């Protein structure tokens, strides 16, 4: 009788083993084997991290193995089991690999196909077609779309983390509990655990330094020492944690009536302001999105304020970007003066603080929340709904969706919900952040997620003109490496554009993203269908870059740049000044967050800047969803390209007082998971 050797690998996650009855069924082209008992309680097989082998004898030749069915039947209590993979050695000595990387819960069964990636057109037998269809039908019942707020990209239909499908939950929910992490942050930062209850003002900037001195790092300490300088203010638009807003100014907007007399002392080339604009030396950052957004009113004891500044910047003879004019509101007028570097020291300093506060709000809610977290969740849900595990694009994308739906669900549960942690310290809490996302959706376009295209659209693409824009330089390198990898994988499975057009599962995936993610808005520019391999490569690059590199660039610098609170105030407690010559140091300190909100803010930016335990960085794919040699060679090439980028960035950063490493691939997690 034919005999097969079956090897079963169990994951090393928390409680990944099982003490239940486990049965195996091999299904081949010529019939099915009988059901075989592999394990039963107290056999001590399938323990956490174990690899167990069994000999399975069948009565007749099965032909080519089509499917494997694994059943888990409860013995005594609920016992989840994380199955990594199964390998089968056939009677003729061939080895077949069956990737799983899923949790088997309750008294459930899992039916697996071998690890060779297949497009829909590759399945010829009815049994394989049926398995493919059933898997998607099952997933579409588990992964349902839901509107969290009107006008938002749709999200997962789950009220809390525990309601999510087991396969996408965190292994240890405590690791992503924002309340526990905040407490942990306070302990690590040596901050008085009761400080968050204090609503009194600080006395002066030295007070901020007293809580800061124990918790600074290289960059945050440099920020503390130099935050008042115009150079540091301008540098952050290029390489801080929100390096996406600055654009070359092609025309001074009428709502910012800056005159040559105002800025003449800031210009260094003996040119008029108009000539500087024409030569490309003037840049602008406009916070118009904040205009009309309601400030946080959740605490009746503290009135909070927002502004919608416009900031004009200049590239000086050293090719460094410095501010030359700031207007704190969108409508010009006598009560909305244009602040200048030539103004009184505290007038100019407070104007810059208001810009930094506004930048913090746009960063948190638009750059970070909307354009990485919520967009990545759309990609994740669509992938699970429309791409079966055997599809090559599922295998390619699934590492980049790890824990994304889980972290977003937990955030909606604790962080950005009504009365959540976000409301504690932020002036856009209490609903302002919702208004901001709704307004920002009109600018969420496909082209704006194409990194090189967006950089060029902002006029920021010239390395010669703007040599210190490391976010751009490193981002282009990582984008090109990801795109090259995507192209390699596409050419393995899609031999022509016609094959792309015929892939009904790919087209359903793209349609789901357009209809539910972008709410069917034609102006978003998201494609409804993909017709060429070239377009597909760009589309996949957008997904992989957004979920990995873009999130890393705007997330992991938060503690570096925002922990020195005067450099990134999460709220302001006095309204913007309406005239010049009246600002004092006492007024600035009174405007900044009180002691309690400062501590909430510190804890938040520290916790959000930490990598996950056992983080998987770009190019690390320990779960072997792909088994084919050409794909593994493509992965090796990808890793080699990434290593070269790491070396280049490391060399550039040597001896730099302000190193830029957020887009170094060894610091870019594969997915949005924090």
> Looking at the chain, how many residues does it have?
674
Q: Is 234 annotated as a binding residue?
A: no
Only one residue has tokens 């996302």, namely 437
Retrieve residue 221's tokens. Answer: 């300490």
Retrieve residue 544's tokens. Answer: 């992989």
Q: Is 161 annotated as a binding residue?
A: no
Retrieve residue 104's tokens. Answer: 């088997």
Decide the pairing of beta strands 3-10 and 81-89. Answer: antiparallel
Q: Is 80 annotated as a binding residue?
A: yes
Retrieve residue 505's tokens. Answer: 């599962």
Backbone phi, psi, residue 609, to 5°: -95, 0
Count CA within 13 A, CB hemisphere, residue 298: 19
How far is the C-alpha of 243 from the C-alpha of 458, rounded, in Å? 12
| Angle made by CA atoms 367, 370, 371, in degrees to the nearest 5 | 55
How far is the C-alpha of 272 from the C-alpha of 330, rounded, in Å? 24
Q: Is 503 annotated as a binding residue?
A: no
3-class SS letters over 182-225: HHHHHHHCCCCCCHHHCCCCCCCHHHHHHHHCCCCCHHHHHHHH
Asked if 262 and 331 count as a contact pair (C-beta separation under 8 A), the reply is no
Asked if 89 and 4 count as a contact pair (C-beta separation under 8 A), the reply is yes
Retrieve residue 575's tokens. Answer: 């309204």
Q: Is 79 annotated as a binding residue?
A: yes
Q: Return the exposure string of 473-507: e unless at least 16 CB atoms fall within 10 Å of the residue's CB, then b.
A: bbbbbbbebbbebbbbbbebbbeeeeebeebebbb
Retrieve residue 508's tokens. Answer: 């359903």
Helices (H), 104-146: 126-142
How far is the C-alpha of 605 from the C-alpha of 554, rounded, in Å? 12
Retrieve residue 303's tokens. Answer: 């009135």
How far is the C-alpha of 160 from the C-alpha of 321, rounded, in Å? 45
Closest CA to 483 of 534, 533, 537, 531: 537
Q: Is 551 annotated as a binding residue?
A: yes
- Our measurement of the distance from residue 471's CA atom to the centroid of its chain's CA atoms, rounded to an integer in Å, reads 16
Please, which residues have CB within 8 angstroms of residue 400's CB and are 6 or more apart in sequence? Answer: 543, 544, 547, 548, 670, 671
Closest CA to 26 of 41, 5, 53: 5
Q: Is 226 annotated as a binding residue?
A: no
How far is the C-alpha of 392 from the C-alpha of 532, rounded, in Å? 16
Report the SS3 class of residue 38. strand
How far is the C-alpha of 164 from the C-alpha of 364, rounded, in Å? 25
How far is the C-alpha of 462 from the C-alpha of 477, rounded, in Å? 15
Q: Which residues are annotated as a binding site for Fe cation?
A: 368, 373, 551
Residue list for the binding site for Ca(2+): 17, 39, 79-80
| Annotated binding-site positions | 17, 39, 79-80, 368, 373, 551
């Amino acid at each position: 009788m034919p005999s097969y050797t079956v090897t079963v690998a169990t994951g090393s996650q928390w409680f990944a083993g099982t003490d239940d009855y486990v049965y195996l069924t091999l299904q081949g082209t010529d019939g099915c084997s009988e059901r075989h008992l592999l394990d039963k309680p107290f056999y001590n097989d399938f323990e956490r991290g174990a690899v167990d082998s069994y000999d399975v004898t069948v009565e007749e030749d099965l032909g080519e193995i089509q499917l494997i069915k694994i059943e888990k039947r409860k013995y005594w209590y609920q016992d989840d089991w994380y199955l990594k993979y199964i390998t089968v050695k056939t009677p003729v000595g061939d080895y077949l690999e069956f990737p799983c990387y899923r949790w088997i819960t309750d008294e459930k069964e899992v039916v697996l196909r071998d690890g060779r990636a297949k497009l829909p057109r590759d399945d010829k037998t009815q049994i394989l077609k049926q398995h493919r269809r059933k898997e998607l039908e099952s997933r579409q019942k588990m992964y349902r779309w839901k509107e969290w707020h009107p006008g938002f990209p749709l999200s997962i239909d789950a009220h809390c983390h525990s309601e999510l499908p087991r396969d996408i939950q965190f292994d240890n929910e405590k690791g992503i509990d924002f309340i526990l992490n905040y407490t942990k942050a306070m302990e690590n930062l040596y901050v008085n655990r009761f400080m968050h209850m204090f609503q009194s003002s600080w006395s002066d900037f030295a007070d901020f330094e007293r809580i800061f001195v124990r918790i600074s790092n290289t960059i945050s300490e440099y920020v503390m020492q130099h935050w008042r300088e115009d150079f540091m203010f301008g540098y952050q638009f290029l390489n801080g944690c929100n390096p996406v807003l600055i654009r070359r100014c092609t025309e001074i907007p009428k709502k910012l009536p800056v005159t040559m007399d105002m800025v003449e002392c800031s210009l260094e080339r003996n040119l008029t302001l108009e000539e500087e604009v024409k030569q490309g030396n003037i840049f602008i950052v406009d916070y118009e999105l904040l205009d009309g957004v309601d400030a946080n009113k959740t605490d009746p004891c503290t009135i909070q304020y927002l502004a919608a500044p416009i900031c004009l910047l200049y590239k000086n003879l050293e090719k460094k970007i410095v501010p030359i004019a700031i207007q704190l509101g969108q409508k010009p007028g006598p009560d909305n003066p244009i602040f200048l570097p030539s103004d009184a020291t505290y007038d100019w300093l407070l104007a810059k603080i208001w810009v930094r506060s506004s930048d913090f709000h746009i960063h948190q809610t638009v750059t970070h929340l909307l354009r990485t977290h919520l967009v990545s969740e759309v990609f994740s849900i669509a992938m699970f709904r429309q791409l079966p595990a055997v599809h090559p694009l599922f295998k390619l994308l699934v590492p980049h969706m790890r824990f994304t739906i889980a972290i977003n669900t937990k955030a909606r549960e604790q962080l950005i919900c009504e009365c959540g942690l976000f409301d504690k310290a932020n002036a856009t809490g209490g609903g302002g952040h919702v208004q901001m996302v709704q307004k920002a959706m009109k600018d969420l376009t496909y082209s704006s997620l194409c990194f090189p295209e967006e950089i060029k659209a902002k006029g920021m693409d010239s390395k010669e003109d703007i040599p210190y824009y490391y976010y751009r330089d490193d981002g282009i390198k990582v984008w090109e490496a990801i795109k090259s990898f995507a192209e390699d994988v596409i050419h393995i499975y899609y031999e022509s554009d016609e094959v792309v057009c015929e892939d009904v599962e790919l087209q359903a995936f793209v349609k789901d993203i357009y209809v539910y993610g972008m709410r069917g808005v034609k102006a978003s520019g998201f494609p409804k269908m993909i017709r060429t391999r070239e377009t597909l490569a760009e589309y996949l690059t957008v997904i992989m870059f957004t979920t990995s590199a873009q999130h890393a660039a705007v997330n992991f610098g938060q503690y570096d740049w925002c922990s020195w609170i005067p450099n990134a105030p999460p709220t302001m407690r006095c309204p913007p000044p309406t005239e010049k010559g009246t600002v004092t140091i006492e007024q600035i300190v009174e405007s900044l967050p009180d002691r309690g909100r400062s501590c909430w803010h510190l804890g938040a930016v520290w916790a959000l800047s930490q990598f996950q335990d056992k983080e998987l960085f770009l190019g690390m794919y320990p779960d072997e969803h792909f088994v084919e040699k050409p794909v593994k060679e493509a992965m090796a090439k990808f890793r080699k390209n990434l290593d070269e980028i790491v070396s280049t960035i490391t060399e550039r950063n040597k001896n730099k007082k302000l190193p830029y490493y957020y887009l170094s691939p060894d610091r870019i997690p594969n997915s949005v998971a924090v």
